[in-house]
Structure 1
């Protein structure tokens, strides 16, 4: 595979778009192009079908990666420079490196990166090729863990069904595709080299139709594996949901048997913790379950596009995948439904408990207001008592002043009246005047309030 390194070339998606992609970059005269027009127009050219002529063997691998992680691009760029090929454009999501008689196809997806190495088959068995470890030493450095590894052999065939003895008969699927122009067979099982095997026996496939069929079959294998990544997440969440449901049931029973503000507040705090846990699990699993549904839809679309027809004595790819994958899909849907249902139950229970807490708070506030009213009435009575005493005290002092004035008038001025009589006469007058003054002051306070 290394003999073509000196003649390596690189082709990215910008060049693969050809004249159409170039024309899309030209702004229409007199009009300002939309900022995403180039991306929208060129999207249909980012992953074109590559013509393939039999015999050919394609080693296809998918690795976990992030779309915004530059490690996949950097690894490919180093590989291209090491083999004398042009590195991809930094914004490219598709790149092809020609290595003499071999060809490496690199594609960047949202959560995975694929590398497909196309070579001439070895003599004899087309699947007698290097294992994963041997290819890892030749291909660009993997950006993440391996998800998919499949080897597709495209061979010539006659009208009869080719020998399928290399496959496990228990899971073997074989069908005619593309209007009978080819026969496809696979058992979806990894062989000793670590690759699943797909055999495509061409009867009357043109290079273009063969390239389209090969790419769709590789996509079926890739996306059916990615579809099943949701199953481990569903299995992980099962015991978690069982625990939360059991705890929620216990809290609901406790709500029915216990009352009181402190108990309700403690139950509400525990419910909030459970709700936070459910929301965290739902947020972590929502992407995986959504991706599972999306990947399965792609698998179904690709199966329809190859136009399968049953071969006597064998099951089709569609029937095999539906029988094995749909139970996993239903498991994921069930767990996702349990997540939503449990979140709603927790929300309803929290609302009920919060209502109880609010009612208990209102009852406490009512009792507090009653207590404040009683204290206010007591203070009012005390104030009225103090005001009555103050009238007597002020009157006493006023009468005393009158007495002093009367005595002074008799002694100094020699007025003909008895000071004792004058003092006694001043008592009712002083009390009445002081009482009127206090009453007026109280009335002014009430009007001000």
Structure 2
């Protein structure tokens, strides 16, 4: 990974910017299925460059006439930059500008930057480019470079930025302009999350209301007079949770990206060391006036979704506890009912056993009577009485042995089933 780490540190180098030139830069959102077209444009459909370098995530080109090209691929966007010398004829620059403007993807930001040696002709340039003075941003940044812009979109689809060259090298001027541009680019990318919040805000309001109503019904479910059904409550809660997950899935990437972009924009703003110019709003004022509230709104919206998920979990836990409590109460009632039934069966069994004593005594007396009649009839009495008296005791013994054998078999089968 060593070479990759070194290349990564050198990835975002800006080209040198001379003291009098014009820069075109666009930032475009590019879908994954459009990346092939972008690669084709970079490899096979490009204007003439005397020097050309291309890597998977960045590329650059240079002509002898002083035209520089820079391309950089981000996670979801691409930045394309053209640096044109001030005296470059329209015939030479036109193919390069057309190539940049026909780039695939949706434009997030497009800016024309005019770099002048000093501020002597800035007012004339501002008037010529129809800059709105009421929206004018003017301030000094690193190394005393002064910038002017209304950060609006003009008739040609580009914004306007005027920069005085300052007393710095071309390389340092390029790095400073790169910071200014990255601030604007990441600012616009961060603001993309705000429409997402506005789009899904009403849906989240509705979910919160549904969840509040559901929590009330769960609370009332413990009342004996409530007609609420546990299964219906669980199904409604599952529907709310499903809708929430759909919203989180649709907004998660954009909200996380907004947080990341806003932090990078804030870093670039701090690195510029902005110094205000009297009677004008500074770059800091312009950036923080809307970016900070928008990024905080997105952050609050993301936290709100997390809190709703936590509330759903708590309501589900409350419902589970209620259901568990009712099940335990039902089990207790069933146990008590079984205990009463057992006690009743025991009393009936005791009664039957008491009655069985009478029956046993009756049959025992009858058996004794049969034996007595047989003895009294022996030897010359009734043969039937003698026979009944003789077989009574063997029959009792045979029945005893049979019952004992059957009882032993039943007990053995029961032991085998336990094993």
TM-score by length of 2: 0.78
In structure 1, the gaps of 5 or more residues are 1-35, 124-128, 400-405, 407-414
Distance verdict in 2 for CA 1:185–1:261, change over 3 Å: same
Q: Residue in 2 aligned with 1:98?
A: 62
Equivalent of 1:157 in 113, 118, 121: 118
Given that 2:190 and 2:259 are in contact with CA atoms closer than 8 Å, whether structure 1 keeps it comes out as yes
Distance verdict in 2 for CA 1:47–1:436, change over 3 Å: closer
The superposition leaves residues 299-355 of structure 1 with CA deviations (integer Å, 9 ceiling, x where unpaired) of 122222222211121121011111121111121122112111111101110111122
Distance across 1 between alignment mates of 2:296 and 2:327? 46
Asked if 1:40 corresponds to 2:5, the answer is: yes
- Report 1:85-124 matches (<5 A): 89=54, 91-99=55-63, 101=65, 102-121=67-86
Asked if 1:277 corresponds to 2:243, the answer is: yes
Distance verdict in 2 for CA 1:382–1:302, change over 3 Å: same
Q: Residue in 2 aligned with 1:173?
A: 137
Asked if 1:421 corresponds to 2:389, the answer is: yes
Q: Aligned-pair distance for 1:364?
A: 4.8
Q: Aligned-pair distance for 1:231?
A: 0.3
SS of the residue 1:209 aligns to = helix
SS of the residue 1:52 aligns to = coil
Q: Residue in 2 aligned with 1:339?
A: 305
SS of the residue 1:193 aligns to = coil
Distance verdict in 2 for CA 1:49–1:137, change over 3 Å: closer
Distance verdict in 2 for CA 1:157–1:98, change over 3 Å: same
Distance across 2 between alignment mates of 1:84 and 1:135? 10
The superposition leaves residues 124-144 of structure 1 with CA deviations (integer Å, 9 ceiling, x where unpaired) of xxxxx99xxx98743374232
Distance across 2 between alignment mates of 1:189 and 1:380? 94
Given that 1:76 and 1:87 are in contact with CA atoms closer than 8 Å, whether structure 2 keeps it comes out as no
- Report 1:196-235 matches (<5 A): 196-235=159-198
SS of the residue 2:133 aligns to = coil
Structure having the higher helix fraction is: 2
SS of the residue 1:151 aligns to = strand
Given that 2:183 and 2:265 are in contact with CA atoms closer than 8 Å, whether structure 1 keeps it comes out as yes
Given that 1:65 and 1:111 are in contact with CA atoms closer than 8 Å, whether structure 2 keeps it comes out as yes
SS of the residue 1:205 aligns to = coil
Q: Aligned-pair distance for 1:145?
A: 1.2
SS of the residue 1:241 aligns to = helix
In structure 2, the gaps of 5 or more residues are 368-373, 375-382
Q: Residue in 1 aligned with 2:377?
A: none
SS of the residue 2:115 aligns to = strand
Q: Residue in 1 aligned with 2:370?
A: none
Distance across 2 between alignment mates of 1:379 and 1:137? 99
Q: Residue in 2 aligned with 1:250?
A: 213
Q: Aligned-pair distance for 1:369?
A: 6.8
Q: Aligned-pair distance for 1:264?
A: 1.3
Distance across 1 between alignment mates of 2:289 and 2:119? 30
Distance verdict in 2 for CA 1:63–1:380, change over 3 Å: farther
Task: Give the alignment's Cα RMSD to 1 decimal.
Answer: 4.3
Q: Aligned-pair distance for 1:444?
A: 5.6
Q: Residue in 2 aligned with 1:236?
A: 199
The superposition leaves residues 162-199 of structure 1 with CA deviations (integer Å, 9 ceiling, x where unpaired) of 5544422232111112232x211111111111111111
